């Protein structure tokens, strides 16, 4: 094996061994009186706060943070990917779908070989793995509806960071070092920002070509990305690398305003994303199940509480695989999936004393009639709230940087069912509702979420993490509502995840004590350790009216307010 492999392995081992120390250091609780931004990078949070202090609203700040993250957090922040935005105002709630789409030349078998088998890495690495980017169109749609400050005030800070450069955090230097060889191998043109092969904490990095791309977006908005020079550079990159995104894809891409997916958990109203996000329906199912049991009395990480949550997650993810997809292409039976009678049937074989093997769990029978990401949460002085989850899918997406344009393309095609019944990069099994079709949006787990309590804004949150997004948001909400944690405690608490298949509980290191692990093992649960699950950025509105931030110590996440 190469020296590079051993070097990367050593870095990963060090992170693995020290992660408990990182999590054990409780962060200081950040509070503010008027407004707050919580994002994955301190520089992005600072830019968002500056926009709020200049009189911008929460959507203005969200746009500025999105573009800033495309520079300072390029492994997930993006203009070459997509995502979802949930907006709450005093008068209405909104959901913006700027998820990527399959190119018009995409086919259901595009990642299969002549024998019908999935070609390794074909849907995760390289040009063919990319869906049509939606982020830029989404930010422009959001601005057209809610923007109040001049457009240039929201884009220029990101341009300044790209051209002037900024210091790498320890985590971002490590991530770049772990991926630089793949990036160089996959790209047809060496990315302009890779001036060296090894980076250290504090090294200054510049993204000159990305700065020029952002300047075209500043000057021409949508046409600065989907047409003109940037579109030409994307087409040239596709031609060099054998990709299939073409001009028609770019010209025709449109983000979509959808009705938010809303439901009640006790006296809390939960406002989140509808399909093609699976998060809203899955959260609704999970909370419907939890409401039947006194988990607050059982307690946080009580064996029975954890056992119930695992069993609920197991069944909900089985339904996700079978029934959820792009509502523009398939009928998503959401009302049935969350019906109390249906859920009674799903939990009928729940045993309080032992685990149900996933091999005995199937998608529920329907009556006749479907991992690198980032999230940020914002509240402005008027009480408007925005939750945005945005992604390239894997770390640095497809690893492809558009030559001359300086930004990474996503590898979202892997979020489709590349082959029905086969697992994707996150181990999720795909169903027929999510097969590849031209111009279809791939199913997502992104779950930007806003909660109300007694008709007032209560919580804003979300997380990266592929399928673990849903369970991370679920557990963080329960930590506050049922287990009476403050926002920072709820974010820092150890997490676990079950997604039906494979039949194992993913658990953060030392999330459970040894006694709890043994109790759960005696029930039949199998465990696989994970260094970390999710990275929540959240805001809680306390009873005294103050805003309380929850910035996850699993990353460089930072809460800033005034």
Please check whether residue 418 is in contact with residue 113, taking contact to mean a CB–CB distance below 8 angstroms: no
Q: Report the predicted TM-score, pTM, of the whole model to 2 decimal places.
A: 0.92
Q: Are 396 and 462 in the same domain?
A: no
Q: What is the mean pLDDT of residues 354-367?
A: 74
User: Helix 58-72 and helix 42-53: axis angle, to 10°?
Assistant: 150
- Classify residue 16: in a domain, yes or no: no
**Sign of torsion, CA 319 322 327 332?**
negative
Confidence band for 254, pLDDT divided at 50, 70 and 90: very high
pLDDT for 430 equals: 54
Pairing of strands 505-508, 527-530: parallel
Mean pLDDT of 75-99: 97
Q: Which residue has the higher pLDDT, 19 or 332?
A: 332
Residues 209 and 340 in one domain: no
Identify the domain containing residue 68 by its residue range. 36-257+381-416
Q: How many CB atoms lie within 10 A of CB 202?
A: 10
The answer on pLDDT for 21 being more than 90 is no
Q: Do 284 and 396 reside in the same domain of the chain?
A: no
pLDDT computed for residue 235 by the predictor: 98
What percentage of residues in the chain have a pLDDT greater than 90? 82
Asked whether residue 481 is assigned to any structural domain, the reply reads yes
Lowest mean pLDDT: which of 25-34, 141-150, 368-377, 460-469? 368-377
pLDDT at 361: 81
Instruction: Provide the annotated active-site residues.
Output: 373
Residue 421 has pLDDT above 90, yes or no: no
**Based on the domain organization, do 83 and 146 belong to the same domain?**
yes
pLDDT score of 447 more than 70: yes
- Other CB atoms within a 10 A radius of the CB of residue 354 amount to 13
* Pair (186, 246) in one structural domain: yes
**pLDDT > 60? residue 57:** yes
Helix, strand or coil, per DSSP, at residue 237:
helix
Residues 175, 181, 187, 190, Cα dihedral to 10°:
90
Using one digit for the tens of pLDDT, what is the confidence trace for 92-137?
A: 999 999 999 999 999 999 999 998 888 989 999 999 999 999 999 9
- The residue whose two tokens read 């958990």 is 265
Residue 428 in domain: no
Q: Reduce the secondary structure of 319-343 to three states and give it as a string.
A: HHHHHCCCCCCCCCCHHHHCCHHHH
Q: Rounded to 10 degrees, what is the CA torsion of 329, 331, 332, 338?
A: 170
Within this chain, do residues 237 and 327 fall inside the same structural domain, yes or no? no
| Per-residue confidence (pLDDT) for residue 502, from 0 to 100 | 87
Residue in this structure with the two tokens 């009302």, named with its chain if needed: 335
- Tell me what pLDDT residue 12 has: 40
> What's the pLDDT at 372?
75
- How many CB atoms sit inside 10 A of residue 3's CB? 7
* 15 has pLDDT over 80: no
CA distances from 340 to 279, 344, 477, 488 (A): 18, 6, 21, 33
The verdict on 460 and 556 lying in the same domain is yes
pLDDT of residue 362: 73
Q: Phi, psi (5° rounding) for residue 556?
A: -90, 20
**553 HSE (CA, 13 A, CB side):** 19
Residue 477 has pLDDT above 70, yes or no: yes
In the chain, the number of structural domains is: 2
**pLDDT, average across residues 236-265:** 97
Q: Do 242 and 344 lie in a common domain? A: no
Q: What was the pLDDT predicted at 236?
A: 98
- Mean pLDDT of the region 14-35: 64
Coil vs helix vs strand at 318? helix
Question: 528 or 24: which carries more pLDDT confidence?
Answer: 528
For the segment 207-218, the average pLDDT, to the nearest whole number, is: 98
pLDDT of residue 11: 38
Does some domain include residue 128? yes
269 phi and psi angles, rounded to 5 deg = -95, 125
- pLDDT score for 14: 39
Tell me, yes or no, whether 513 lies in a domain: yes
Same domain, 179 and 217: yes
Instruction: Report DSSP state, residue 278.
Output: S
Cis peptide before 294 (omega within 30 of 0): no
Burial class from Cβ neighbours inside 10 Å (0-12, 13-18, 19+) for residue 80 reads buried
Q: What's the mean pLDDT in 300-322?
A: 94
Query: Residue 430 domain-assigned?
Result: no
Residue scoring higher pLDDT (328 or 406): 406
**H or E element in which residue 269 lies:** strand 268-272
Q: 7 pLDDT exceeds 60?
A: no
Which of the four pLDDT bands, split at 50, 70 and 90, describes residue 27?
A: confident
Domain membership flag for residue 121? yes
List the one residue out of 445, 470, 473 whose CA is nearest residue 460: 473
Higher-confidence position of 415 and 97: 97
The single-letter DSSP state of residue 169 is P
The CATH number linked to 301 is 3.60.20.40
Token reading at 41: 């990078």
Q: Is position 422 within any domain?
A: no
pLDDT score of 95: 98
List phi, psi (to 5°) of 276: -80, 5
Q: DSSP of 69-130, one letter per residue? A: HHHH-TTTS-SSSEEEEEEE-SS-EEEEEE--B--TT--TTTTB-TTSPBPTTTTTSSGGGP
Q: What is the 3-state secondary structure (H, E, C) of 412-462?
A: HHHHCECCCCCECCCCCECCHHHECCCCCECCECCCCEEEEECCEEEEEEC
Assess whether 284 and 249 both reside in one domain.
no
- Distance separating alpha carbons of residues 275 and 257, to the nearest angstrom: 12
Model confidence at 366: pLDDT above 80: no
| Chain centroid to CA 268 | 23
Residue 320 reports pLDDT greater than 50: yes
Dihedral angle over CA of 422, 326, 361, 502, nearest 10: 40
* pLDDT at position 422: 64
| Exposure string for 124-137, b = 16+ CB within 10 A, e = fewer | bbbbbbbbbbbbbb
pLDDT tier for residue 418 given thresholds of 50, 70 and 90: confident
235 shares its domain with 274:
no
For residues 423-441, average pLDDT: 73
249 and 294 fall within a common domain? no
Say whether pLDDT at 448 is over 60: yes
pLDDT of residue 423: 56
Q: What is the pLDDT of residue 155?
A: 98
CB 393, CB 415: distance < 8 Å: yes
**Mean pLDDT throughout 272-299?**
96
Check pLDDT > 80 for residue 305: yes
d(CA 387, CA 447): 9
Instruction: Give the pLDDT band of residue 488 (cuts 50, 70, 90).
Output: very high
């Amino acid at each position: 094996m190469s020296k590079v492999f051993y070097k990367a392995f050593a870095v990963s081992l060090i992170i693995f061994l020290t992660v408990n120390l990182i999590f054990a250091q409780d962060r200081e609780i950040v509070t503010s009186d008027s407004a707050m931004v919580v994002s994955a990078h301190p520089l992005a949070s600072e830019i968002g706060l500056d926009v709020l202090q200049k009189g911008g609203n929460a959507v203005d700040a969200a746009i500025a943070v999105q573009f800033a993250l495309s520079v300072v957090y390029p492994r997930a922040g993006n203009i070459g990917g997509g995502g979802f935005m949930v907006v709450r105002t005093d008068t209405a709630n909104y959901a913006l779908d700027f998820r990527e789409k399959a190119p018009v030349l995409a086919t259901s078998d595009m990642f299969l070989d002549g024998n019908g088998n999935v070609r390794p890495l074909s849907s995760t690495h390289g040009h063919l793995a990319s869906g049509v980017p939606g982020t830029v169109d989404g930010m422009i749609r959001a601005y057209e509806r809610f923007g109040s400050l001049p457009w240039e005030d929201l884009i220029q800070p990101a341009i300044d960071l790209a051209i002037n450069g900024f210091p790498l955090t320890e985590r971002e230097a490590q991530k770049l070092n772990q991926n630089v060889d793949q990036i160089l191998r996959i790209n047809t043109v060496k990315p302009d920002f890779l001036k060296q092969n090894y980076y250290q904490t504090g090294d200054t990095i510049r993204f000159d070509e990305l700065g020029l791309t952002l300047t075209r977006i500043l000057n021409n908005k949508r046409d600065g990305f989907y047409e003109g020079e940037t579109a030409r550079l994307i087409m040239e990159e596709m031609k060099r690398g054998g990709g299939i995104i073409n001009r028609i894809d770019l010209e025709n891409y449109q983000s979509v305003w959808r009705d938010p997916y809303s439901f009640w958990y006790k006296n809390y109203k939960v406002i989140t994303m509808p399909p093609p996000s699976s998060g809203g329906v899955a959260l609704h199912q999970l909370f419907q199940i939890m409401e039947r049991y006194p988990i607050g009395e059982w307690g946080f990480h009580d064996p029975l509480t954890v056992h119930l949550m695992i069993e609920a997650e197991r069944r909900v993810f089985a339904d996700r695989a079978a029934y959820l997809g792009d509502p523009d292409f398939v009928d998503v039976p959401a009302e049935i999936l969350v019906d109390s009678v249906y859920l009674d049937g799903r939990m009928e074989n729940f045993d309080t004393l032992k685990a149900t093997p996933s091999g005995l769990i199937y998608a529920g029978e329907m009556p006749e009639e479907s991992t690198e990401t980032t999230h940020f949460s914002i509240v402005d002085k008027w009480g408007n709230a925005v939750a945005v989850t945005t992604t390239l899918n894997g770390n640095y997406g497809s690893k492809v940087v558009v030559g001359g344009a300086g930004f990474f393309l996503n590898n979202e095609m892997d979020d489709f069912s590349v082959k029905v019944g086969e697992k994707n990069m996150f181990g999720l099994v795909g169903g027929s509702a999510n097969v590849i079709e031209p111009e279809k949006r791939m199913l997502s787990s992104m779950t930007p979420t806003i909660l109300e309590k007694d008709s007032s804004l209560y919580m804003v949150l979300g997380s990266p993490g592929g399928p673990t997004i849903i369970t991370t948001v679920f557990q963080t909400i329960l930590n506050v509502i049922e287990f009476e944690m403050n926002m920072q405690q709820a974010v820092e608490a150890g997490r676990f995840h079950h997604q039906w298949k494979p039949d194992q509980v993913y658990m953060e290191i030392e999330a459970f004590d040894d006694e709890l692990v043994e109790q759960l093992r005696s029930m039949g649960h199998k465990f696989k350790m994970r260094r970390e699950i999710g990275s929540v950025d959240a805001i809680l509105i306390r009873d005294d009216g103050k805003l309380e931030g929850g910035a996850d110590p699993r990353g460089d996440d930072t809460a800033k307010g005034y």
